[in-house]
Structure 1
Amino acid sequence: METRQLKTLLAIHSHGTFALAADVVGLTPSAVSQQIQALENELEVTIFDRSTRPPRITPEGLQVLEMAKDILRRAEDTKASLRGDQIAGTLRFGSVRTSALNLLPRALVQMRQRHPALKPSLRVSLSSPLIADVAEGRLDAAIVAEHLGFPTALRWSPFLREPLWLIAPGGMEAADPIELLNTRPYIRFRSGVPLANLIDTELSRLGVVTNDVAEIDTIGSIVTCVRQGLGISVVPHVALETPEDVGISRLPFGFPQVTRQIGIVERTTSPRAEIIALLHAVLADLCGDYGVDRSIRS
């Protein structure tokens, strides 16, 4: 098995046909076909179903594709390490779809500016598959909320501890939060993520009965609806940092005020630990007063 064969496989998958891949890797279509045939013979699997036009990758081929990506990434990282450049290569990073995702692009831009040889590869998904992918080595690390039941081989380090706010349209007079929650139209955050459960648990503890007018699965959309006067809701602090949010009324949510944590999960023996630590520091700095030092672990 040669890296050039694996690169050719990735090119075929990315561009859709053997002919287009041939242009990318600088070979003839015949040479591309020969490389894939040799790879199939060595691995004793059928990577492409050639009965279709263009050939379609098989389920076994998808497994080979994932193996190829991992081998090529490891080869790239090893070369960087041998050159003495630990902050290089590809960082495969995941993130939950949350308001914390607003911070991550800025952090990755800073990392790229400081370390041009570093190539971030970001995937957005739910926390459970992200945690599983980190544990299995398919991702180097991921941003997830505080979570129950992390595998023992993983380490979770918070970089953000922020308060939750009860928000209302601008101009609404400040009032008792319990009264607002019991009397005003309420926009519920409905999502299978820890933040939604955290909010609902506190609402139940407070004994309020909300008058739901909408159920929305993204925090940004909830803030927009509140800004437009549809109702009140509960959101984390990081969702209220744009200039247009200045006019939104806010009151502490919960007694005492509820907070939530976001952090980075990684393998305890991660080969990318140095890079992940640097990213953690950048994220904590972007969080300002609510940033959490790397030394604090769950």
Structure 2
Amino acid sequence: MTITQLKYVLAVAEAKNFTKAAQKTFVTQPTLSMQIQKLEEELEIVIFDRSTKPIELTPIGQKIVTQAKSIVNESNRMQDVVDQEKGFIGGEFKIGIIPTVMPTLLPMFLKNFTNKYPKVQLKIEELTTDEIISKLKRGHLDAAIAATPLEQEKIKERVIYYEPFVAYIPEGHKLSEKEKINVDDLDLDDLLLLEDGHCFRDGIINLCKSNAAISEDHFQLQSGSFETLIKLSNEGLGMTLLPYLHTLDIPERQLSKLRYFEEPSPAREVSLIYSTNELKLQIINAMYDVIAGVVRGAIRFQDVKIVSPIK
């Protein structure tokens, strides 16, 4: 039995197809099939039911895959132990970032991080929270940046910062004369929201529903970007809420339309999250330190109330 054979088993279990698994593991399909067959013969079991389409795991195959994941993870940890002992911070590092954080946070820390740790090959993906959770659990990401708490087993959350919500209120709006607003002022029927799938949208809905039970059927106007929401708001179609870091890029002529909340300000918690197996922890720690150092200078709010991103 070899680690390579176990990796082939995991690839087939995920792809449910020998050809796709071979492509993913960069070997020929006959080589992959032969190695899995050798493993089955050694264990005297059948891991995959090849008569089904897509290929399915046999009952004993499911147990083998669970154990294989543990063994492969532990084998990867061995290289981590060596890297940490040597003080080496490098190699490929796959990180996912949610869409409402990516455009504001990434430019703030990316250059600093790559300059400080040039041996790390970052692979960055913009992903929804659900995609991030799935990829972390399957080992397809080393870490991610997302709104928390997520209450997920086998995922650790390390808070980087708390980002307040800021209201963007057009001229002539019923709240435009207020210097500061309160959560009780919010009306979901009057709020322009991100489209479904964004945790920032879910956080706003949770914030408003804490005051009254409101049906989501009332929402009609939704968009995939904050820039579009701002433009629609300027047309008098309603107000919107923005994450604080996004307001730093708003043109000076529009700054008068921003309104902050009375303290404690509603805010989202943004964390660096990763698997409890703590693979590549030295890179995770390095990234945390760089991001935290940059963000502390941008966000000075202290008295905040965290809004859940969970539906």
Provide the TM-score with structure 1 as the length reference: 0.63
For residue 87 of structure 1, what is the aligned residue in structure 2?
89
Deviation at 1:250, TM superposition (A): 0.9
Give the superposed CA RMSD.
5.2
Q: What is the CA deviation profile of residues 100-149 of structure 1, one whole-angstrom value per residue up to 9, with x for unaligned ones? A: 23356555675455243455575834369839966x98865443434286
- For 2:158, the aligned partner's letter is S
For residue 305 of structure 2, what is the aligned residue in structure 1?
none
Does the C-alpha gap of structure 1 residues 290 and 215 become closer, same or farther in structure 2, counting only changes over 3 Å? same
Structure-to-structure mapping, 1:59-78, within 5 angstroms: 59=57, 74-78=74-78
Distance 2:26 2:276 in 1: 38
1:58 pairs with 51, 56, 65, which one?
56
Distance 2:259 2:141 in 1: 38
2:241 pairs with 227, 230, 234, which one?
234
1:124 aligns with 2:133: no
For residue 175 of structure 1, what is the aligned residue in structure 2?
177
Distance 1:144 1:186 in 2: 23
Distance 2:134 2:24 in 1: 37
Deviation at 1:252, TM superposition (A): 1.1
2:191 pairs with 186, 202, 207, which one?
186
Does the C-alpha gap of structure 1 residues 243 and 137 become closer, same or farther in structure 2, counting only changes over 3 Å? same
1:164 aligns with 2:173: no
Does the C-alpha gap of structure 1 residues 269 and 68 become closer, same or farther in structure 2, counting only changes over 3 Å? closer
* Contact 2:169/2:239, CA 8 A, preserved across alignment: yes
For residue 145 of structure 2, what is the aligned residue in structure 1?
143
For residue 99 of structure 1, what is the aligned residue in structure 2?
100
Distance 2:21 2:96 in 1: 33
Distance 2:248 2:152 in 1: 30
1:222 aligns with 2:229: yes
1:290 aligns with 2:299: yes
Which deviates more from structure 2 when the two are superposed, residues 2-11 or residues 274-283?
2-11
Does the C-alpha gap of structure 1 residues 192 and 124 become closer, same or farther in structure 2, counting only changes over 3 Å? closer
Distance 2:196 2:20 in 1: 42
Distance 1:254 1:38 in 2: 66
Distance 1:282 1:5 in 2: 38
Q: What percent of counterpart residues are identical?
A: 20
* Contact 1:103/1:283, CA 8 A, preserved across alignment: no
- For 1:237, the aligned partner's letter is Y
For residue 258 of structure 2, what is the aligned residue in structure 1?
250
Does the C-alpha gap of structure 1 residues 251 and 123 become closer, same or farther in structure 2, counting only changes over 3 Å? closer
* Contact 2:18/2:32, CA 8 A, preserved across alignment: no
Q: Secondary structure at the match of 2:220?
A: strand
Does the C-alpha gap of structure 1 residues 90 and 5 become closer, same or farther in structure 2, counting only changes over 3 Å? same
Deviation at 1:187, TM superposition (A): 1.6
- For 2:56, the aligned partner's letter is T
Distance 2:284 2:105 in 1: 13
Q: Secondary structure at the match of 2:160?
A: strand
Which stretches in structure 1 are left out of the alignment for 5+ residues?
Answer: 293-298
* Contact 1:202/1:254, CA 8 A, preserved across alignment: no
For residue 36 of structure 2, what is the aligned residue in structure 1?
36
Distance 1:32 1:137 in 2: 20
Distance 1:82 1:14 in 2: 34
Q: Secondary structure at the match of 1:45?
A: coil
Q: Secondary structure at the match of 1:87?
A: coil
Does the C-alpha gap of structure 1 residues 50 and 160 become closer, same or farther in structure 2, counting only changes over 3 Å? same
Does the C-alpha gap of structure 1 residues 247 and 15 become closer, same or farther in structure 2, counting only changes over 3 Å? farther
For residue 286 of structure 2, what is the aligned residue in structure 1?
278
* Contact 1:159/1:280, CA 8 A, preserved across alignment: yes
Which stretches in structure 2 are left out of the alignment for 5+ residues?
Answer: 302-311
* Contact 2:94/2:142, CA 8 A, preserved across alignment: yes
Provide the TM-score with structure 2 as the length reference: 0.61
